Amino acid sequence: MKSPVFPRLNQTQMAAFLTIKRVRLQWATREGIIERGADGYRPEIVVAQWLKYERQRIAKKAGRSEFERQRVRLTRAKAEEVERQIVSVCVQRHKGSLS
């Protein structure tokens, strides 16, 4: 079975096809994320390149969020430890004032 041949698209058409803004497509082209031929964008190539970029971006974001969750856990643990120390000092002072 022969794969379908897609027509070349101009920048506006390609941006609409990807459902992104034209300026974002310009940026992606300038950054080398998406390639553009002399006769326009080839949807069968550009879609794969765009999906690869988006998946990498989402994976990076997910990794950052895991880092953020760990940071929050550590901060909370430190705060709880400080709170325990404060309670311990207050209890000792209270016992000392009762004697």
CA 59, distance to chain mean position in Å, is: 6
Q: Could you give the CA distance from residue 13 to residue 2 in angstroms, rounded to a whole number?
A: 25
Q: Could you give the CA distance from residue 71 to residue 68 in angstroms, rounded to a whole number?
A: 5
What is the Cα Rg of the chain in Å?
A: 28
pLDDT at 90: 83
pLDDT at 96: 73
Residue 50 CB partners (closer than 8 Å, separation 6+): 18, 20, 28, 33, 34
pTM listed for this prediction: 0.61
Tens digit of each residue's pLDDT (9 = 90 or more) over 35-44: 999 999 999 9
pLDDT tier, 99 (very low <50, low <70, confident <90, very high otherwise): low
Tens digit of each residue's pLDDT (9 = 90 or more) over 5-16: 789 999 999 999
Hey, is 9 helix, strand or coil? strand
